[in-house]
Structure 1
Amino acid sequence: MTRLPYSQDDIEQMAKELLRMEPDPIPRFILLKEFMHLKPTEAAYKRAYEKVLAHPFVVKLEKEQTSHGYWGHFHVDTEAMIQRCLSIGLAPEHPCLSSAVAFIEKVLKGEDIWHQRCEKQDNPRWWLEMFMPLVSAASLSLIHPNHPLLDKHIEVWERFAQAAWATGEYRLEQEKQRQIDYFKINTKRIIPFYNYYAVLFLTSRKEILEASLDKKILSYCLQKKDGMYYIYDNQASVPVPINDTKCFYHWLRLLTILSRFQSWEGSSHSYCRWIWKQRNETGFWDLGKKPRGWYFPLSDSWRIEKNRIIDSSIFVLRLLKQDAAAR
């Protein structure tokens, strides 16, 4: 296996250089927590986190969240805001996340449903009995991957994946039949193992997928011509240059999701080398234009070039540090 062009020490050194740029409160906290490995018990951590809690981004999240624990519609709005909360460094115990968790728990217990109109499908039960529990469970797994309410759902989706690959090759009909048998819903629209929410769920704990199945699913997702619905609509195994800002961002988002697979370490080198080469003359990454979505901004404003470089580099380094740490 070819060596990476960077090490864990290189990643930490880059984080130190970003800190010397005097980043705004949120990116500064992320760098201290995720790259300098400050502990919650340390005074510097507490001071930095207090500034995050008082930040206008967080105040806005708190203000816009309803008393029921969601923002707008659950799908897609609340899903995005949960990821936004986690991305800017909020702890799972933060009121925004704990309130969202309380609502999701009710959904998974059958005590509530999403407060939005059901999407029209070929079977009206699809939305309430197949899609809603999966998306809710996947969202909860991002906050509390070991939550006991997830156990049953994890077992169900693991069995679907096993059925899809029971012969050693992907068999759609076997996957479809297993889902129909379980849900007792006659529908043409199954939710395949490579679906965004299914992948989030199947990779939420290390022990869910047996190693060989984990590797097969990752390989399938990397080679899938139309990428992953909701995330990126091109083949993940084809590198994207950073000057194609929109595609580079969505490509990296997909790789970040796929990096959750246990077998990612054995497949990641070529992608990480390519990403490393996309640095600018200062040695960092600059997406140029802010991509749409929940991830950006981390800094107070992208009108300042320094902030744009800090945010872009954190986005990239969050992926690269996983591989550096594994070497």
Structure 2
Amino acid sequence: MSDYKTGRWAKQILDSRDSEGMWGNFHTLSQPVGNKEITTEQALRRLRILGFTKDDEPIRWVLDRMCLCVSGRKKIDNYYEKTHDWALFEKLMLSAWIRIFEPENKIALDVAKQWGEIVEKSFGSGQYNRADDIAAFTSQFGRKPKSGFETGFGMFYHAALLKGVLSPATENLLLQYYLTRSDGIYYIYDKSLNVLPDVFASKRASQYLAAIELLAGYGQARGKLGFVAKWLDSHKDKYGQWDLGAGAKDGVYFPLSDSWRKREYRIADCTERITNLMQQIF
């Protein structure tokens, strides 16, 4: 992998850290808009894409802060949404991000196992059952679910959190469930993942790949995502490279290189990303 950690985009993000080593409020995961301040979550996602890991000081700093928050020793910020049980949502969200960078972190793993128990019971009949989900949630948290994120496991955070905590049979069912959900994975891609994008060279295809990259980290993924590997293989050029087009530049997944003024830099970025994914699913 090329060293994007010292490049233009990483410097831009790192230079915007506040005095606590954060970036604005933590949540939201949506694409940054114009000159608006980025969130800490957006910064984490972008830095990870640029190659930062838990061993890099900016990431370590935020990981430690998230762990303090999940364990109830410090607030992440003053933001909250009244429509949710915000304390529960924060634990889910922050634990997912901790596990993205540090899968075996005990604080986050304990939260993952809680949700994993709910998933096991929700798929106990051999497919997702909402009534079983509600019953399992109620048993785990002592009340019935009351907002959208509390049932259905349809968010980015659930998919990121649950890797490595499910039985092989349940993981297989969960992956099939994600692939066939009509509204995809919330925050990442809003269509069925079983339906390939119509246009390969597009931002839409890049967003689709983000959802597949999320699922590729599951142990059962290789057997489930072969159709994606075939689709990608069919879009290689004669040099064995890929090009998602100039429209894929979104400030999130692309660019990696400092500039896309030259087509070869764009192709290099696209090829690196897709090669990494192919190694996981093909």
- TM more than 0.5: yes
Are residues 1:267 and 2:224 paired?
A: yes
Structure-2-length-normalised TM-score: 0.88
Q: Shift in Å at residue 263 of structure 1?
A: 1.3
Task: Name segments (4+ residues, structure 1) moved above 6 Å.
Answer: none
Q: Shift in Å at residue 282 of structure 1?
A: 4.2
Equivalent in the alignment of 2:112: 154
Q: Shift in Å at residue 162 of structure 1?
A: 1.1
In the alignment, structure 1 segments of 5+ residues that lack a partner are: 1-26, 30-51
Deviates more, 1:265-274 or 1:287-296: 287-296
**Contact 1:69–1:102, Cα closer than 8 Å, also in 2:** no
Q: Deviations over 1:82-106 (max 9, x none)?
A: 2222221223221110111121011
Secondary structure of the corresponding residue to residue 253 of structure 2 = coil
Are residues 1:80 and 2:42 paired?
A: yes
Equivalent in the alignment of 1:192: 152
Secondary structure of the corresponding residue to residue 54 of structure 2 = coil
Equivalent in the alignment of 2:7: 55
The match for 2:75 among 106, 113, 136 is: 113
The match for 1:221 among 154, 163, 178 is: 178
Q: Shift in Å at residue 241 of structure 1?
A: 4.3
Are residues 1:284 and 2:228 paired?
A: no
RMSD: 2.0
Alpha-carbon distance in structure 1 between the residues aligned to 2:5 and 2:123: 45
Alpha-carbon distance in structure 2 between the residues aligned to 1:310 and 1:109: 42
Alpha-carbon distance in structure 2 between the residues aligned to 1:138 and 1:163: 20
Q: Deviations over 1:240-282 (max 9, x none)?
A: 2444502211111111111122111212222101111112354
Q: Shift in Å at residue 108 of structure 1?
A: 1.1
**Contact 1:69–1:103, Cα closer than 8 Å, also in 2:** no
Question: Greater relative contact order: 1 or 2 (C-alpha under 8 angstroms, separation 6 or more)?
Answer: 1
The match for 1:91 among 43, 53, 68 is: 53
Aligned residues: 269
More helix by share: 1
**Contact 1:299–1:311, Cα closer than 8 Å, also in 2:** yes
The match for 1:127 among 86, 93, 97 is: 86
Q: Which has the larger radius of gyration?
A: 1
Q: Shift in Å at residue 114 of structure 1?
A: 3.1
Equivalent in the alignment of 1:28: 2
**Contact 1:134–1:198, Cα closer than 8 Å, also in 2:** yes
- Structure 1 residues 312, 54: closer, same or farther in 2, change over 3 A? closer
State, as a whole percentage, how many aligned pairs show the same letter: 23
In the alignment, structure 2 segments of 5+ residues that lack a partner are: 29-38
Deviates more, 1:63-72 or 1:267-276: 63-72
Are residues 1:64 and 2:24 paired?
A: no
Are residues 1:230 and 2:204 paired?
A: no
Alpha-carbon distance in structure 1 between the residues aligned to 2:5 and 2:277: 25
Alpha-carbon distance in structure 2 between the residues aligned to 1:270 and 1:58: 34
